[in-house]
């Protein structure tokens, strides 16, 4: 059989649903709920033994080979109280086929309907009403849920929540029976006889995903506990049950086009009441190493940095705990020795006159990267003396700074339910503008009804209606996979609600909603209910990115790509066709030259924008030059003929004396401006803005390392 396909021997051993989308589909799989390994490393799964049509209490674990010899019936085969199978004939599985056999020939029954699927899939209520493709997304997205500061167990669950939270390892369990003697946020003491057992709780530790690992006690002083009982919740559990999201009131209806293409409309209440707020901790690390020119130094004394940049640093140059920091702020001050070659002629002159006074170091401090912000919550330091074996060779000191931030749900964040119904928050409305129920309750979330029929994940609708009943009655409901509530049962419960609280509720759970802005009823009834929604790790704060000027690739001289490199947006072949199709010649020319790899053109453009002049004519892109050199390297004599018939180098026609070509020598560009350059310029009246402009104008010649782009052979 194909390696990726579902095979009949997977039944009860490997989950047919939980697998990644993409290149590894079907190759990476999950263990089913009751499966385990035998001593030979084969997957085995439990079965209830049947003898002469009677189910015994015996449980056998069978491998796929053992199972080929026997007839296995379904877990929910009807039996009486003595264990006799009620039906004359039963549907059983035999060697991959479904066959109907007399009850006397049945050898085994499954132990549970959910033994087919994995734990993650068994957490989806009404799974039997969902298309497998969407169930796959639902299983996988539960792993991407962000731990919230106030998580809530689902109103409509499957009964697996308690066990999965307990076995996840994130909760604290009592090691013995006894009485709780002392509780605070960081430790629980349990007394058994004369002994006292202390359980320490983890507080605000960073996970590898940058989310928080955090435990909070759920017992009180004087409570009796048993060994193995959960006494403290993890970051994603509530009352000992798995809690990945929150229960919210949802309505399935279009709203002014704001839920087009799976977008989600939210109520401001969810933001104000921190329904979907989460804490994220980022780790920033810097090493002080030995270099050829001497050791790097962590210090507060950094050249050419104003006092306002140092206000949060202590005397060692490390930021203080509790400081609010934003992009570009210094976290740890560090200087690196600068060799003779790094020095400009002016610096050499100063050193020759004043001796060693001019410090030959450059600033290599750890700064907060673009787009990051938060509060410093912890600092870890490791030095050579403390931990010889943990530091790599040549490293004298390592400083780690932990910056935390509270992220509320915001436009652009990804949310999802448990049925593969994912979407992006498109707008957050004031509570008073949200549609409201006849009793005045505003809904929390508006979802697009078109997200249901084509995706065939009707489980979300059943969950919503069941949730409406549970929410109104103050219940918690468990509907296990493949043996959960039937539609008829849900509709019966709805009848009670319509007789009592909501007179205009239809038999299938639809109700009249009113527009929060006008107070008028919407013209059709709407399905409203309570759905469990998760906030996923794909947050807009981590993805949003903008760039004006930044690093360029060494060979092609085009901007780098991606947020991590502070890159630009790729303008590819097809985007070029789009601009060609609209005849947008000038913007297209800019995209391919001054906004990309026409080196002199972009320097000139920057300079002229700063000076407020008109832009010059674009030149030849560097990548074209690279292509020509590549061809010349292959022995092809490629040259450029100008319109006047002359043959020449690839240069701009004008300003040739002003800028040296990247292939020729020319005057050195201005040095990186030092603090005192401005005084000598005879410009006492230079204001703060002009100073910044001058710095910007001069720094355009410099790449991030401070070495000239234009001169090649330094």
Tens of pLDDT, residue by residue over 143-180, are: 999 999 999 999 999 999 999 999 999 999 999 999 99
CATH number of 545-664: 3.90.1800.10
Is the Cα dihedral 466, 467, 471, 475 positive or negative? positive
Superfamily of domain 278-407 in the CATH hierarchy: RNA polymerase II, Rpb2 subunit, wall domain (2.40.50.150)
Task: State pTM to two decimals.
Answer: 0.84
236, 263, 425 from 258: Cα distances, Å:
31, 7, 9
What are the helix and strand counts (H, E) for the chain?
A: 15, 39
Q: Please name every residue paired with 60 in a beta bridge, in sequence order, or none if there are none.
A: 47
CATH fold of 246-277+411-535 reads 2.40.270
Give the range among 103-117, 124-138, 612-626, 660-674 with minimum mean pLDDT: 660-674
Section 441-469 average pLDDT: 97
Q: Of 411, 696, 420, 447, give the one whose Cα is nearest residue 549.
A: 696
CB burial of residue 404 (10 Å; 0-12, 13-18, 19+): middle
pLDDT band for 693, please (50, 70, 90 cuts): very low
Task: Taking residues 534-550, report their average pLDDT.
Answer: 94
- Mean pLDDT value across residues 449-454: 96
What is the distance, to the nearest Å, from the Cα of residue 428 to the centroid of all Cα atoms in its chain? 21
If pLDDT is split at 50, 70 and 90, which confidence band does 391 have? confident
Q: Confidence class of residue 447 from pLDDT cuts 50, 70 and 90?
A: very high
Output the pLDDT for position 570.
94
pLDDT of residue 308: 93
Q: C-alpha distances in angstroms, 140 versus 11, 21, 623, 673?
A: 20, 9, 43, 53
Could you give the residue range(s) of every CATH 2.40.50.100 domain in the chain? 145-242
Convert the pLDDT of each residue in 171-221 to its tens digit.
Answer: 999 999 999 999 999 999 999 999 999 999 999 999 999 999 999 999 999
Range list for CATH 3.90.1800.10 in the chain: 545-664
Per-residue model confidence (pLDDT) at position 444: 98
Q: Summarize the confidence of residues 416-435 as an average pLDDT.
A: 97
CATH 2.40.50.150 in the chain, residues? 278-407
Q: How far apart are CA 124 and CA 463, in angstroms?
A: 10
pLDDT of 51 reads 95
Q: Note the pLDDT tens digit of each residue in 637-676.
A: 888 888 888 877 665 444 444 444 444 444 444 444 444 4
The CATH 2.30.150.10 portion of the chain extends over 8-122
Residue 601: the pLDDT is 93
> pLDDT confidence of 499, banded at 50, 70, 90?
confident
pLDDT of 428-440, one tens digit each?
999 999 999 999 9
Residues contacting residue 646 through CB under 8 Å, at least 6 positions apart: none
- In this prediction, residues 2-21 reach a mean pLDDT of 95
**How far is it, in rounded angstroms, from Cα 165 to Cα 215?**
13
**145-242 fold:** OB fold (Dihydrolipoamide Acetyltransferase, E2P) (2.40.50)
The DSSP bridge pattern shows strands 278-291 and 395-407 to be antiparallel
Across the chain, mean pLDDT equals 89
Q: Which two tokens stand for residue 101?
A: 């056999």
Only one residue has tokens 């979407």, namely 423
User: Taking a C-beta distance cutoff of 8 angstroms, is the pair 472, 511 a contact?
Assistant: no
User: For residues 347 and 367, is the Cβ–Cβ distance under 8 A?
Assistant: no
**Which superfamily, per CATH, for 8-122?**
DNA-directed RNA polymerase, beta subunit, external 1 domain (2.30.150.10)
Per-residue pLDDT tens digits for 356-384 = 645 678 999 999 999 899 999 999 999 98
What's the confidence (pLDDT) of residue 388? 66
Q: Say yes or no to pLDDT of 685 above 50.
A: no
**Is 493 buried (19+), middle (13-18) or exposed (0-12) by CB count in 10 A?**
buried
Other C-beta atoms within 10 Å of 269: how many?
18
Mean pLDDT across 563-579:
95
**pLDDT tens track for 63-81:** 999 999 999 999 999 999 9
CA 250 to CA 181: how far, in whole Å? Answer: 43
Residues of the chain with CATH 2.40.270.10: 246-277+411-535
With pLDDT > 90 as the criterion, what percentage of the chain qualifies? 78
Q: Which of 417, 638, 383, 668 is nearest to 530 (CA)?
A: 417
* Residue 560 pLDDT: 94
């Amino acid at each position: 059989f194909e390696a990726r396909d579902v095979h009949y021997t997977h039944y009860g051993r490997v989950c047919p649903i939980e697998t990644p989308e993409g290149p590894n589909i079907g190759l990476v799989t999950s263990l089913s709920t009751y499966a385990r390994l035998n001593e030979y490393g084969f997957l085995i799964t439990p079965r209830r033994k049947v003898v002469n049509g009677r189910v015994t209490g015996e449980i056998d674990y069978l491998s796929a080979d053992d199972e080929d010899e026997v007839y296995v019936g379904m877990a929910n085969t009807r039996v009486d109280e003595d264990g006799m199978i009620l039906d004359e004939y039963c549907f059983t599985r035999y060697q991959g086929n479904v066959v109907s056999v007399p009850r006397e020939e049945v050898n085994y029954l499954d132990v549970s309907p959910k033994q087919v699927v994995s734990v993650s899939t068994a957490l989806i209520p009404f799974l039997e009403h969902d298309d497998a493709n969407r169930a796959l997304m639902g299983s996988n997205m539960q792993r991407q849920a962000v731990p919230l500061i106030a998580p809530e167990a689902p109103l409509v669950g499957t009964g697996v929540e308690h066990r999965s939270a307990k076995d996840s390892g994130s909760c604290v369990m009592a090691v013995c029976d006894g009485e709780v003697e002392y509780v605070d946020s960081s430790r629980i003491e349990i007394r058994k006889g004369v002994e006292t057992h202390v359980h320490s709780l983890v507080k605000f530790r960073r996970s590898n995903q940058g989310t928080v690992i955090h435990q909070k006690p759920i017992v009180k002083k004087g409570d009796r506990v048993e060994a193995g009982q959960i006494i403290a919740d993890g970051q994603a559990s509530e009352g000992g049950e798995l809690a990945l999201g929150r229960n919210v009131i949802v309505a399935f209806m279009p709203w002014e086009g704001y839920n087009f293409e799976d977008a989600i409309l939210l109520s401001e209440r969810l933001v104000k009441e921190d329904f979907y707020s989460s804490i994220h901790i980022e780790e920033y690390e810097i090493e002080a190493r030995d270099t050829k020119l001497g050791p790097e130094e962590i210090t507060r004394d950094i050249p050419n940095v104003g006092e306002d940049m140092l206000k949060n640093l202590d005397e060692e140059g490390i930021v203080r705990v509790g400081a609010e920091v934003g992009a570009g702020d210094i976290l740890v001050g560090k200087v690196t020795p600068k060799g003779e070659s790094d020095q400009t002629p002016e610096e050499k002159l100063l050193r020759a006159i004043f001796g060693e006074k001019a410090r030959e170091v450059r600033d290599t401090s750890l700064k907060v990267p673009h787009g990051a912000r938060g509060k410093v919550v912890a600092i870890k330091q490791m030095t050579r003396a403390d931990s010889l074996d943990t530091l790599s060779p040549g490293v004298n000191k390592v400083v780690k700074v932990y910056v935390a931030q509270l992220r509320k749900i915001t436009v652009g964040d990804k949310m999802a339910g448990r049925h593969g119904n994912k979407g992006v928050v498109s707008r957050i409305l004031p509570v008073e503008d949200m549609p409201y129920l006849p009793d005045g309750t505003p809904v929390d979330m508006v979802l697009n009804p078109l997200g249901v029929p084509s995706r065939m994940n009707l489980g979300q609708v059943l969950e919503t209606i069941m949730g409406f009943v549970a929410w109104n009655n103050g219940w918690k409901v468990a509907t296990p996979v493949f043996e959960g509530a039937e539609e008829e049962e849900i509709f019966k419960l709805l009848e009670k609600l319509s007789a009592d609280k909501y007179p205009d509720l239809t038999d299938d759970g639809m109700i009249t909603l009113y527009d929060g802005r006008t107070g008028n009823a919407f013209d059709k009834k709407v399905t409203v209910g309570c759905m469990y929604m998760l906030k996923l790790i794909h947050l807009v704060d981590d993805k949003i990115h903008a760039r004006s000027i930044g690093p360029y690739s060494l060979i092609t001289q085009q901007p780098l790509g991606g947020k991590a490199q502070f890159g630009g947006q790729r303008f590819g072949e097809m985007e070029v066709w789009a601009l060609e199709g609209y005849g947008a010649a000038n913007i297209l020319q800019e995209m391919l030259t001054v906004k990309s790899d026409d080196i002199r053109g972009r320097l000139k453009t920057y300079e002229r924008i700063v000076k407020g002049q008109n832009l010059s004519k674009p030149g030849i892109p560097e990548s074209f030059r690279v292509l020509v050199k590549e061809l010349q390297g292959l022995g092809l004599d490629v040259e450029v003929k100008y319109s006047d018939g002359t043959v020449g180098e690839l240069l701009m026609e004008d300003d040739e004396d002003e800028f040296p070509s990247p292939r020729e020598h020319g005057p050195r560009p201005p040095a990186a401006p030092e603090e005192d350059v401005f005084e000598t310029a005879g410009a006492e009246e230079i204001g703060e803005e002009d100073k910044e402009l001058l710095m910007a104008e001069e720094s355009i010649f410099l790449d991030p390392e401070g070495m000239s782009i234009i001169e090649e052979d330094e």
